[in-house]
Structure 1
Amino acid sequence: MAVTAVVSAVGLVVDDRVLVGAPIWSKPFKFAVSFVAYCLSLAWMLSLLPRGRRVGWWAGTVVALASLVEMVIITGQAVRGKRSHFNHETPFDEALFNAMAVTVVVLWTGTLVIAVLLLRARIADRASAWAIRCGIVLALAGAAVGFLMTQPAPGQRRGVSKVVGAHSVGVPDGGPGMPLTGWSTTGGDLRIPHFVGMHALQLLPLLVMLLAALAPRFARFADDRVRLRLVLLAAAGYAAAFALVLWQALRGQPLTHPDAPTLTAAGLTLTAVTLGTYGILRAPLPPPGRPTAPENAGTPKELVP
């Protein structure tokens, strides 16, 4: 995927073709970069499994192979100057898109298996464990948004239309979009909740790493209960944000032009997270010398130093 990202970046520079309002190499580039982050995150999470590693290895291999097949199709269609997604123009294009649909289901199922393993795993640090669990569940929800994109848009008919499915809601694909992402600025865009949900896989574990880095300077972050509560609050806030952008997209509303209900929901979410964070940080710490739980309690022997 890293190699594909470099090749696609070169394509963006040397190939000036445009397809559905975007440079033809932008989709391979974005997918390749996304898969780099996705697969590295899953690989790291699999390394934390105290048991079930063989099942995890097979699930990870399935995810990698499904990703590879999808990228071969996306890149091949870019070379041909054709749409990779929702393309029913010719029997060959339709067969390629149907193959991609199968790889997406396989990839999602492989990730689900990994999620089950992680949900059952006994990881020593509770904050890390819950960041990983919440992150992968939200990533599965974000990936599932892709299935909504395959539904016929208004005016499209299966077996008749050359294009069946769309990223945008309420407007045709390929209209005015945001810089870099290309997300619609005139209608809803299902790529936004898709992106937000899937990248919980990286952002919630990064929060734990940040709290661990701050622990030597701020004693409060060294407390296991404080880190756990902050992670759970962040996960709840992230889930609310995911639900909000999904609701906004399904109503055909661009991210850049929220209406009053959207702003109200966003304000309530932000207020709840802010007050929750304040309450967690202001709560009294346990007296020095009195651990919150017996050392290594509930930790599998293989994770005990």
Structure 2
Amino acid sequence: MTASRIVWHRPLLALATAMAALAVVAAVGSVIDPRQITGVPLWNKPLLFAVSVGLYAVTLAWLLGLLTRHRRLAHQVGTIAAGGLAIEMIIIVGVALAGTTSHFNVSTPLATALWGIMAVSIVVVWMLGVPLAIMLFRTDLGDPARALAIRAGLIIALAGMGLAFLMTGPQGDQITNYSGIVGAHTVGPPDGGAGLPLVGWSTVGGDLRIPHFVGMHALQLVPLTALLLELLARRVPALRDAGTRFGIVWVVVALYVALLGLVTAQALAGESILHPDPVVVAVVTAVVAAAVLVIVGVIVRRRPYTKTAQCQPLPSAESAP
């Protein structure tokens, strides 16, 4: 980057702080409050969404701080995104405290309106990722591997967020046996069945929350890979070359996209993440093995990065005025 400091987006940091507090309250509530909604502890959804939204908010605040141009537009993007996420969380918590479900609920005019407001809010947040991606592609992010990881992580995250739309259509017999719910997380069995602790992902059928989660959190995991490589470069001579790290990040990005495609196909096929088909196991094994071999090849060849971008130290941070 050409700038020496990151100017963090304050509204998004405030939202992240509020989500951290909500996560603590929800975690305590999960222990002391026995109430359930559709067979799941009442506080589970507020807890999971608080963690997810908090991570997204703090990451977005960091990404906006990387921009050296169009900062006024970037600030507006962040503020609108913070507002959209806050609206969603207020509805999720409020509806949970009322003892019913927020997602897919069209059983009453009020429930339908709240679900519609949530849907619009998240669509707006998703759409705001597009101008952010464009601005990041036009910003000098310094180290080439870091730049690739940030840009690819955002693109994959937008795809992962978009996968949530697969949950909103009628599932199973929801049309013939209408009960006020249109849409579901699970493919095959109805929502609320056997699931993994806390996250609730189905253990007996496909679950579209899995690819949504995997894709969305590429925003954190892919850039963290690049940052880890930078830290390891201080001790591992083979990683000190910018071209080597750049090549490794490309392999990680390709591997991530392949795995995202696999878990999406698995969920749509109604297959539990815990009971994969032998073909799925074979494909995953082959893809991971191929990625490892390519990474080894990248390290052995150690081709220098030829563009003008050079490795720069990570910028320090300060809050926006």
Is 1:221 aligned to 2:239, yes or no?
yes
Secondary structure of residue in 1 paired with 2:252: helix
Q: Distance in 2 between matches of 1:284 and 1:195?
A: 34
Deviations 1:192-240 (A, max 9, x none): 0000001111111111111111112111111100010011110110010
The aligned counterpart of 1:3 is 21
- Cα RMSD for the two superposed structures: 1.9
Q: Distance in 1 between matches of 2:151 and 2:176?
A: 38
* Preserved contact between residue 190 and residue 246 of structure 1 (Cα < 8 Å): yes
* Preserved contact between residue 244 and residue 302 of structure 2 (Cα < 8 Å): no
Q: Distance in 2 between matches of 1:151 and 1:284?
A: 48
Secondary structure of residue in 2 paired with 1:156: coil
Is 1:98 aligned to 2:116, yes or no?
yes
Q: Distance in 2 between matches of 1:130 and 1:206?
A: 12
Higher relative contact order (CA 8 A, sep 6+): 2
The aligned counterpart of 2:268 is 250
The aligned counterpart of 2:142 is 124
Match of 1:162 among 175, 180, 191: 180
* Preserved contact between residue 152 and residue 253 of structure 2 (Cα < 8 Å): yes
Match of 1:33 among 37, 51, 59: 51
Matching residue's letter, 1:108: W
Quote the offset at 1:168 in angstroms.
0.2
Q: Distance in 2 between matches of 1:76 and 1:276?
A: 49
The aligned counterpart of 2:12 is none
Q: Distance in 2 between matches of 1:70 and 1:239?
A: 28
Deviations 1:98-122 (A, max 9, x none): 1111111111011222122112222
Match of 1:65 among 83, 105, 111: 83
Matching residue's letter, 1:261: V
The aligned counterpart of 2:195 is 177
Length-normalised TM-score, structure 1: 0.92
Q: Distance in 1 between matches of 2:67 and 2:103?
A: 35
Is 1:197 aligned to 2:221, yes or no?
no
Q: Distance in 2 between matches of 1:50 and 1:158?
A: 54
Which portions of structure 1, spanning 4 or more consecutive aligned residues, are displaced by more than 4 angstroms? none
Length-normalised TM-score, structure 2: 0.87
Match of 1:56 among 68, 71, 74: 74
* Preserved contact between residue 158 and residue 164 of structure 1 (Cα < 8 Å): no
Q: Distance in 2 between matches of 1:75 and 1:115?
A: 30
> Could you list the runs of 5+ residues in structure 2 that have no partner in the other structure?
1-18, 316-321
The correspondence of residues 267-278 of structure 1 with structure 2, limited to 5 A, is: 267-278=285-296
Secondary structure of residue in 2 paired with 1:47: helix
The count of residues paired between Structure 1 and Structure 2 equals 294
Q: Distance in 1 between matches of 2:140 and 2:75?
A: 18
Secondary structure of residue in 2 paired with 1:239: helix
The aligned counterpart of 1:74 is 92
Is 1:107 aligned to 2:119, yes or no?
no
The aligned counterpart of 1:283 is 301
Matching residue's letter, 1:91: P
Q: Distance in 2 between matches of 1:249 and 1:242?
A: 11
Quote the offset at 1:58 in angstroms.
1.0
Q: Distance in 2 between matches of 1:162 and 1:268?
A: 44
Quote the offset at 1:123 in angstroms.
1.6
Q: Distance in 2 between matches of 1:268 and 1:62?
A: 43
Q: Distance in 1 between matches of 2:164 and 2:33?
A: 28
Match of 1:263 among 281, 286, 290: 281
Match of 1:186 among 204, 226, 240: 204
Q: Sequence identity of aligned pairs in percent?
A: 46
Quote the offset at 1:285 in angstroms.
5.7
Quote the offset at 1:43 in angstroms.
1.0
* Preserved contact between residue 60 and residue 114 of structure 1 (Cα < 8 Å): no
* Preserved contact between residue 63 and residue 111 of structure 1 (Cα < 8 Å): no
* Preserved contact between residue 243 and residue 302 of structure 2 (Cα < 8 Å): no
* Preserved contact between residue 5 and residue 33 of structure 1 (Cα < 8 Å): yes
Quote the offset at 1:284 in angstroms.
4.3
Q: Distance in 1 between matches of 2:295 and 2:219?
A: 21
Q: Distance in 2 between matches of 1:285 and 1:89?
A: 60
The aligned counterpart of 2:9 is none
Larger deviation: 10-19 or 137-146? Answer: 10-19
Match of 1:233 among 251, 268, 274: 251
